[in-house]
Every structure is written in structure tokens, then in C-alpha cells.
Chain A
Amino acid sequence: MWEYEDAARGDNTLGRFAIADGATESSYSGEWARHLTSLFVTDPPKTSRDRHIGPWIRKAQGTFRASPLGDTAPWYAIEKARLGSHATFLGLKINLDSRFWVAWAVGDSCLFRCDPLASSLSLSFPIGHPDDFNSSPTLVGSKPSRNTHSLSKIWRRWGRAQRGTAFVMASDALAQWILSDVRDDGREWLTLLTIEEDKFPQFVENLRTNSSLKNDDTTAMIVQLA
């Protein structure tokens, strides 16, 4: 049907998790999304308290190699490649001893925090309302010349989590659905906290069928603290 251009990477022992949603209209956006999430897990931003991860983004740009074009590539392939690749990005680092966490976000992939036993959302970041999603989120670009806008739109949150806290990282369609369910006092979103990975595709398909979920690449990563 269509290519899947989201990416998700996580490492439980290192406490590093990232999702990225490749922009459909850019070339190689799936590869760029995978590059961003891989780099975050293997070589994340060094300074937890630094909001400006511009240097880390430039490292990602410098190490990204999209598939090369041949010598006889048509004009539109050359121009498309010149524009570079684009994706939203959400990265979460957790110190497994102190449970201190920090997250950075560009665009509309969202981080939710669910406190233990409360069965409610205590954080929705960077978007807090289902009406605040639009068709033009800020994107991280693979070309420095096409990335100046996103460098001023990097959001950061941090805190110290309790034992049993669950973080949900979701791409935009699913994030919007979660916020809509919470707004309507629903509890269906809680299913995500315990759903098995192989049941997730059917869960998504059911939501799409009843038009609760937009027809878009859908990614969720659940991080449960012991």
C-alpha cells in the first residue's frame, strides 16, 4: 500500500529511546528517520541539561548518507535529493539508577507519562491538546541549509520518574488519538500500556476502520520503569 517511513529504536540497558516520523514528501525520509533514531541510541546528545541539541543534529547530518544518484539521474531526482530528507524526532534518555529523564522533541511525535496506579496522563509533550496537530509540523532536515527553522523549535522536558512510571512515545496520528480519548474521558488509550507487540497492528487497524485513527504511519514505543 505505502512505504513505512517511521523509525523506532530503543536500548533498555542504556536507557535510550527514540522515534522519528519521516516526511512523506521528502526523499529517503525513512532512511533519515532510521539514522536519527539509531544515532540517538548509539551516540546521544552529551549534555542532559542542554536544550540546544543543534550540534547533535549537525552530527546526524554529517554522518547521513542517502543512496547516491546515478550520473544519468533526471532533473527532478537531483532537485528532490538537493532538498534533503525530513522527519519529526522524539528522543528520551533515562538514567536507570536515579530515574532522572530528559526528552527532546522536534515536531509532533509525542511523549506521554503515565504515573503508576493513577491510570492517567501526567505529561503530554510537546503537544497537549488533540486540536493542536496540523499538516505542517516542524521537521529535522538532513541538509544544514534546510534546517535553520527547526533549530529554533527544539523542545525539551526533564524530570525524575517514580518506580512503575510508564512512558509512551507515539507518532502524530496515534498521539492525537490518545489525547482525544483522554479529552473524552475514555480509557481505551490505557490498552497501549499492556498491549503485546504482535497485537499492535490489529489494534491500529481497528482504530482506522472506525475512523478513530488517521490513515498514517503509526508508531508506539512503551517504556515501563520497574
Chain B
Amino acid sequence: MAYSAEIGRLNPGCFLILIDQSGSMADVQATSGVQKAQGASDAVNRVLADLVIRCTKQEGVRDYFHVGVIGYGSSVQPALAGALSGRDLVPISEIADLPSRVDERMRRESDGAGGVVDVPTRLPIWLEPVAEGGTPMCESLKLARSALNGWVVSHETSFPPVVINLTDGEATDGDPLGPAQELVGLHTKDGEVLLFNCHISSQKAQPVLYPDSESGLADDYAKRLFRMSSILPERVRAIASQEEHNITESSRGFVFNADIADLVKFLDIGTRVSTDLR
């Protein structure tokens, strides 16, 4: 059965995030009240931190995953900052040890006795918000393919890589459907590369969450992103069903008109390919 490989140090998983860094990402997301670029980079930093913590055992961080981030705007290139600058796929232990900086913020938490308490938490930063230029999504999909081409060969028994594309608008360098299809043509023995797409809206708009058909989608742009999105494999579908209603066997890894909270949940669901890391 496809998409059933267990994640382990000998069989690591792989996540590659493509993040739109075009000029329009400087706009404010109306529901969340934050700049889309800031909200998206915060969400990516948060999911990277969560992945590191999930991989942390008593002796250190185990390399259960390889991770990369590609930004596309005025240029298309790996987007991790600091010592990881220029790297496309990085073992999670190096992500853990080499954030660009670590901020400290106060987080409000339950105290377990009905009250709340402010707790200092550490926020590592790997990705800075960027918003300039056009939307060369086709080129980013091609760069993703070239980054994963060798990985799927050297990890042929692994769970296939998951590519997560975060965008607020249409590609400006052509129709991305072709490059998307070439990307998901890569595969390990456990299945084809998965491509999940999240569209971030500036307005307060009703989101479309993990649809299983085009019929509820208003325009051609949304339909194109739907066609580019892979069907959720069973173990990801199980996680999505805990968070969202109306998940079916044909539901795709696709959200349209997401706000920042939807985006955070999308990244969390898309990176839950294993709940049991040994």
C-alpha cells in the first residue's frame, strides 16, 4: 500500500516549503491583522520549531526529517537565513542547531488551576519575511524538482517528500500546472511526491478547506491550484479529520482563502506524516 512507510532515522521523511515572497505579500491579511509575509514566515518558523521538538530525544535531535524552504519573489532561491543560507535540504538536527537567531517572547498559558500565567518561550527564527517582486511559481516548482530529484533516489524506501506551497496569488511566469505535474512525477518506492497548496487571502473571505472536487471553487485560479494539489494520503487524512469536518477519501491538500490561523493548521497537518517517531 502506498504512503505507508514508517519514518525513522534510516528512512527519514522530507518536507520542502515553497513560500511566495512577492510584493503583494506586504499587504495585511484582514482576519489576522498581520502582514501576509510576516504571518507566513512566523507560521513556517513555528512549524520548523515544532518539527525540531518532535525529533528531540534525551540524547539530542534525531534526523527523522530533511527540511528545506525555497522563497520565490524577486528571485527564486533557498530561503533559510543565517548559517543555513543557500542550503536546499537540511537534516533536522542542523535546523535545530543553526537558527539565524532565537527570540524570547512571553506566551500566555493555562496554569492548570483555572487561571493563566505568562511563560517565557524561545522562538527560533530561520526565515525572515520578504515581500518584493513578482510570483515566479513555475520556477520555484522546477527548483523544488531539482532539489528532490537526488533525494528520492538516495531515499527510495522513505515516505515520499511533501512539498507545501504557500502563495497569495497567481504565478507570473506561466502556467504552474505543468511544472507541478513534473514535480509529483518524482517518487520513492512508497509513492509519488505530494504537493499541497495553501492560498492566503488578503480579505476576510470564506475559506475552502481540503475540498474533494472543483465544484465549489469560484474561479479558474482556484481550480488550477486544486488540480495541482495531491489527494491526502490516509495518515494525513486521519489528522485532518481531527481538525476539520467534511474530509473525504478524495480530499486534497489544498486550502483557498486561508487566513493565518488556517495557514498554521495547514502546515501542521501537512507535516504530520508520522505520529510515532522512534
Contacts and interface: CB of A to CB of B under 8 A. Distances in A.
A77 B56 contact: yes
Given A80-B53, A135-B276, A144-B113, 7 more contacts: A25-B54, A79-B53, A82-B121, A135-B238, A136-B275, A144-B112, A145-B112
A157 interface: no
A28 interface: yes
Interface residues of A, number: 27
| Chain B contact residues, majority secondary structure | mixed
B215 interface: no
Q: Top 6 A-B pairs ranked by shortest CB distance?
A: A144-B112, A75-B122, A135-B275, A2-B278, A80-B56, A145-B112
B56 A24 contact: no
Contacts of A215: 6
B49 interface: yes
B110 interface: yes
Given A82-B121, A83-B53, A135-B275, A76 B61 contact: yes
Contacts of B205: none
B275 A147 contact: no
10 contacts: A24-B278, A25-B54, A77-B56, A79-B121, A80-B56, A145-B109, A145-B110, A145-B111, A145-B112, A216-B276
A158 to B, nearest CB: 27
Nearest to B104: A75
Contacts of A143: 112
Interface string B28-72: 000000000000000000000100111011100100000000000
Contacts of A148: 110, 112
Interface in A76-90: 76-80, 82-83
Contacts of A82: 119, 121
Nearest to B272: A135
Interface string A51-92: 000000000000000010000001111111011000000000
B52 A76 contact: yes
B277 interface: yes
B117 interface: yes
B102 interface: yes
B146 to A, nearest CB: 30
Contacts of B56: 27, 76-77, 80
Contacts, number: 59
A134 interface: yes
Nearest to B242: A136
Given A25-B54, A136-B242, A78 B112 contact: no
B78 interface: no
B96 interface: yes
Contacts of B102: 75
Contacts of B52: 76
Contacts of B12: none
Given A25-B275, A136-B242, A76 B96 contact: yes
B8 to A, nearest CB: 9
Contacts of A74: 96-97
Interface in A199-222: 215-216
B124 interface: yes
Interface string B115-127: 0010101101000
Interface in B93-137: 96-97, 99, 102, 109-113, 117, 119, 121-122, 124
A78 B275 contact: no
Contacts of B54: 25
A73 B112 CA distance: 26
